[in-house]
Amino acid sequence: MTTDRRLEILRAIVDEYVETQEPVGSKAIADKRALGISPATIRNEMAVLEEEGFITQPHTSAGRIPTDLGYRLFVDKLSTIKPLSTAERRAIETFLGGAHDLDDVVKRSAKLLADITKQVAVVQYPILGDSHGRDMMAISGTANLARSGDDLGSTLSPILEALEEQVVLLRLLSDAHPTVHVTIGSEQHEANLQTTSLVTVGYGQGESPMGALGIIGPTRMDYAGSISAVSAVARYIGRYITEGSR
């Protein structure tokens, strides 16, 4: 059973690894976190976290990095969502406020979400008034994956190939709910995407979303910030569809 202290150490490892892309050692945690415990105690707790499968030691490094299971525990235990900065909120309002129609809103939303999160953004939206219930897709930020080459390694090409298939994108967003959902690494159903994480949410009114959006990127991502950005953009699109298009 992971204790509160171990959860704090896991949180420190995730935060530090996301920021630096370097394996995290006990001294770095002791120096940067006011946990009130010694590096030796942190090392002992890290050993338990490793035994429990939440962190792992890459190669011969003295530091540790989170596993998919560690990221899952971190996300599930997030007590607060990182608020968007004033600049980010203003960018959403200004950039999306200049849209002319739903197609423009969605394309702008995908680009803005990709810019804010530095991940790939995908937005699925209905063709309003279409009796066949067809959906459209907008995707932006695939170049961001190339900048994450060290994280994705040889899996980058299969990921890009998967994202070129609209059926794959629709499937990724098909289970989106009114609340944000995070799918991490090996939890992905698509075999070619199991080195990535997906943050999705539905938008619209009620429990049956009209559409969905999300971001996909390496498992080493800023989950709190990504959840916040996805939620904010989804609220804007939902508001546009239910109010702005009247």
Q: What whole-number percentage of the chain has pLDDT above 90?
A: 42
Asked if pLDDT for residue 80 goes beyond 70, the answer is no
Tell me, yes or no, whether 124 and 224 share the same domain: yes
Which CATH number do you get for residue 49? 1.10.10.10
Q: Identify the domain containing residue 46 by its residue range.
A: 4-76
Q: Which of 47, 76, 105 is the last residue of a domain?
A: 76
pLDDT, average across residues 34-57: 91
In sequence order, the β-bridge partners of residue 136 are 125
* Chain segment 148-191, per-residue pLDDT in tens: 767 888 888 889 898 888 888 888 888 778 889 999 999 999 99
Tell me, yes or no, whether 98 and 57 share the same domain: no
Can you tell me which residue has the tokens 């990709």? Answer: 114
pLDDT, average across residues 30-47: 88
pTM of the model: 0.87
User: Does residue 81 lie within any of the structural domains?
Assistant: no
Tell me, yes or no, whether 137 and 235 share the same domain: yes
Characterise 15 by phi-psi region: left (phi > 0), alpha (psi -120 to 50), beta (else): alpha
Question: For residue 242, what pLDDT band results from cuts at 50, 70 and 90?
Answer: confident
Asked if pLDDT for residue 244 goes beyond 60, the answer is no
* Chain segment 86-110, per-residue pLDDT in tens: 887 787 778 777 777 878 888 888 9
Tell me, yes or no, whether 119 and 166 share the same domain: yes
* Chain segment 184-221, per-residue pLDDT in tens: 999 999 999 999 999 999 987 666 678 899 999 999 99
pLDDT of residue 246: 47
pLDDT of residue 78: 80
Number of domains, the chain: 2
Residues 6+ apart with CB under 8 A from 109: 96, 121, 123, 138, 213, 233, 236, 237
User: Does residue 214 lie within any of the structural domains?
Assistant: yes
Helices and strands, counts by H and E, the chain:
11, 7
- Which of the two residues, 155 and 241, has the higher pLDDT score? 155
